[in-house]
Structure 1
Amino acid sequence: MSQNQSKENQLLMEVTGHRLKTKGISVSSSLFTGLAKEATDCLNPIRPPKKQLSSEFIVSSSLKSRRQIEICILSRRTEKTLHIKHFVPGDSQGHFLAGTLFLIIALWWSTKSILKHVCKQQKRSSSLITKEFFFRAELLEGIVIIGMASVGIIGLYIALPKIHQFSDKDYKLALILHWHHLAMYVFFAILGGTKILCFIISSLPVSLVKLALSNAFFVEAFIFYNHTHGRSLVDIFGHQLLSFAIFLAGLVAFIEFLTKSNVVLELLRSSLIMLHGMWFYQISFVLYPKNRNYAWDLSDHNNVMFLTICFCFYYALTCAIIGINYALVTCLVKWRLSKLCTSETQLLKNHEQQEESEDEI
């Protein structure tokens, strides 16, 4: 290769890299070389004969053709390749909202399971927490779950006009992904309706709630596993870990459906749902960084291995949160019961003193 060609190829690669950086896209070295080649081919019709012109003129003509290089990159195979590898639909707000909701639900379900378990162990707990409290809590849960599903469906409807800004292929993909989310919201709405009906109609078995819960998680895991068409390596792996956590939560819920109430299974399900919510945060951080200069390389296998470590530490964190919650709820119930006992004993003493004074009179 001559000195003129090396200078020109170096310029073309600089222009190509600048164009991709401004779009927030990172590409592999092989793909980058292919892009530079295609940009070189685009300049062939306008390149003057090398024998008649100096190297400085060839470089200056390449500078004048910078816009043509960019048009070639966007109009040929490059656009298709970048669409397949780096089109990331969705936004960080949606993932953050879903993660927050699942964290709140998991924390409440773990607290409710611990309360039931502690109240069974304590004989005088019926005066502190009655059965009506848990009954009303179940009804409120059903209403909240239906409300969350409705908010998700409304959010999909609001975001629908935004996908019209994409190209035809991206529009079709984004529309299918909208239907994916709609299917998940429908099954969670079914869960909320089942929870309300089972506690209003006494003839319906309460175990149907656990069956509806497992169905909702199984459907969500299945959809998220097939939610990664045309995505990059890190994106696919992150969604696979998410579907794995959701599937485990659905499996534990199905085991609860087959068995009687078991506090260990309930807390295990709550920890997996909490992991589910935390992993939504991690996906939002990886795919939609606020600063594009520090964006993750979605094709780097080292990032895949790092995400496995993050997943394990997130699960350890959920177990620690469940353990702390168990200790706090147990201490709180015992403290309230001891306070009730002291007040009752004080009332009894006052009553006995009054009786003694009346006898003396």
Structure 2
Amino acid sequence: MGGFQGHLFPGLSIFFYGLYHARLISKALICNRPVQYPPHRPWSQGRWARLRQIHYVGLVKILSSFILVAQELHSVQGQFVLISKIFHQRSFIYDKQWQHLTFYATFFLSGCVDVVSQNVLPQRAPALEQGAQALSMFLILTLMVSHVEDAEGVELYSHILFIQVLFLLLLVGIAELWAPNSLRFWAMKALLYMIAGSWMIQIGFMLFKPISGHKWMDDDKNDILFVTTFFCWHVISLAMLMIWIYGFSFWWYHYFADAQIR
């Protein structure tokens, strides 16, 4: 994505989506029930009953996509068009920005599918939601492959690692279509979403706001080697975070929730 904010905000969105999946998988393991949402229930009576029964995941995706699009358009200098007509020549311009908008459009479409499935249809359609997620991963992966054509050095290696995570997410998303309630796939998806989000944020810091204050050098082999090292640290740290989430959820449901029931 373009600039520091163009990496920060999408990265946060993807990371928190991974945290949400980590909470779902922890609850499914502890409560010994399918990881999918329960079927859509009929509206109950009461003033706020309908709001309590709405699933907000899709709405958050849609809101996030609008915020990301607004941030992208705000960063564009000049008139944002697809084709320029200067000196009687027609050529595509703002290629990166159009890729970014297409990237955000996948969030929007996935959110729309989630809203329809979870809040509109009489019975939830998990296969439809997972199919939309797999399609989104395929589109994002396709965009990222061409996104790094003019990259080199630290930027190239960091984005290659990001593409690897997206490829694994695509494989997991496709496999979920045949095993929608597999806890292994959901755990892998939660971890990969968190890795993708945190690594996108890390790319923003490395390229635009290095924490050390010194710019990463493309011709320095040590800097390029440490890109991979930092990525491995991300994977280890987020795996430990998932274990902590499971431990906290176990304590919450077995002690705090039981105490409230009693």
Letter in 1 for 2:6: G
Is the Cα–Cα contact under 8 Å of residues 242 and 279 in structure 1 kept in the other structure?
A: yes
Aligned pairs for 1:257-272 within 5 A: 257-272=177-192
CA contact (8 A) 2:40 2:123 kept: no
Name which of 96, 112, 119 aligns with 2:31: 119
Alignment check: 8 A CA contact 2:39 2:123 kept: no
> Once the 2 structures are TM-superposed, how far is the Cα of residue 244 of structure 1 from its aligned partner?
1.0
* CA-to-aligned-CA distance 1:302-349 (integer Å, 9 cap, x gap): 3222211211121111110001000100111011343145x3xxxxxx
- Confirm or deny: 8 A CA contact 1:184 1:220 kept in the other structure: yes
Post-superposition CA distance 1:146-169 (Å, at most 9, x none): 1111111112221122699xxx9x
Q: Distance in 1 between matches of 2:206 and 2:78?
A: 22
| Aligned pairs (5 A) from 1:182-331 | 182-199=101-118, 200-202=120-122, 205-289=125-209, 294-331=214-251
From the superposition, tell whether residues 130 and 196 of structure 1 become closer, same or farther in structure 2 (CA, over 3 Å): closer
1:238 to partner: Cα distance: 1.0
- Is 2:64 the counterpart of 1:148? yes
How far 1:138 moved relative to its partner?
Answer: 7.1
Amino acid at match of 1:152: L
Equivalent residue, structure 1, for 2:8: 96
TM-score, with length taken from structure 1: 0.60
Instruction: Give structure 1 stretches of 5+ with no counterpart.
Output: 1-88, 122-128, 344-361
Mapped contact 1:234–1:300 kept (Cα < 8 A): no
Distance 2:39 2:212 in 1: 53
Residues in 1 aligned to 2:53 and 2:193: alpha-carbon distance in whole angstroms: 19
Q: Which amino acid aligns with 1:310?
A: F
Point out which structure has higher relative CO (alpha carbons under 8 A, 6+ apart). Answer: 2
The structure richer in helix per residue is 1
Q: Provide the aligned C-alpha RMSD in A.
A: 3.0
Q: Distance in 2 between matches of 1:130 and 1:330?
A: 24
Which of 89, 95, 98 does residue 176 from structure 1 map onto? 95
1:62-98 per-residue CA deviation (whole Å, 9 max, x = no partner) reads: xxxxxxxxxxxxxxxxxxxxxxxxxxx8211221122
Kindly tell me: are residues 138 and 268 of structure 1, through their superposed partners in 2, closer, same or farther at Cα, counting changes over 3 Å?
farther
Matched with 2:255 is 335
Aligned amino acid, residue 118 of structure 1: I
1:237/1:163 CA distance change after superposition, 3 Å? farther
Counterpart residue identity of residue 59, structure 2: I
Aligned to 2:44: none
Deviations for 1:236-293, whole angstroms, at most 9, x for unmatched residues? Answer: 1111111111221222122112113122211210111100111112211221136896
Which has the larger Rg? 1
Q: Is the 8 A contact 2:9 2:68 kept in 1?
A: no
Inter-partner Cα distance in structure 1 for 2:40 and 2:124: 18
Alignment partner for residue 76 of structure 2, among 146, 152, 160?
160
Count of residues paired in the alignment: 240
Asked if the contact 1:233/1:301 (under 8 Å) is kept, the reply is no
